[in-house]
Amino acid sequence: MSYPEPRYLGETGEHSGVVRAADLPADLSMASGTQVHYLGTGGSTNGAFGLYRWEMGPGPSGPGAHFHRTITESFYVLSGAIQLYNGEKWAEGRPGDFLFVPEGGVHAFRNQSGEPASMLILFTPGAPREAYFEELADISHTGRQLTPEEWTELYLRHDQYMV
Instruction: State the CATH number of the domain containing residue 81.
Output: 2.60.120.10
Q: What is the pLDDT of residue 23?
A: 95
In a domain, 82, yes or no: yes
Q: What is the pLDDT of residue 81?
A: 97
Residue type, 130: E
Q: How many CB atoms lie within 10 A of CB 71?
A: 20
| 24: Cβ contacts below 8 Å, ≥ 6 apart | 37
Q: What is the pLDDT of residue 118?
A: 98
Collapse the DSSP code of 134 into the 3-class scheme (helix H, G, I; strand E, B; otherwise coil) and give the result: helix
In a domain, 7, yes or no: no
Q: What is the pLDDT of residue 134?
A: 96
Q: Which residues of the chain have pLDDT under 50?
A: none
The pLDDT tens digits of the residues spanning 39-82 come to: 999 999 999 999 999 999 999 999 999 999 999 999 999 999 99
Q: What is the pLDDT of residue 93?
A: 97
Domain span at residue 80 reads 28-162
In a domain, 19, yes or no: no
Q: What is the pLDDT of residue 56?
A: 97
In a domain, 116, yes or no: yes
Q: What is the pLDDT of residue 40?
A: 97
In a domain, 8, yes or no: no
Report d(CA 146, CA 68) in Å as an integer: 21
Report d(CA 4, CA 116) in Å as an integer: 39
Q: How many CB atoms lie within 10 A of CB 63?
A: 13
How many domains does the chain fold into?
1
In a domain, 80, yes or no: yes
Contact yes or no for 84/109 (Cβ under 8 A): yes
- pTM as predicted: 0.94
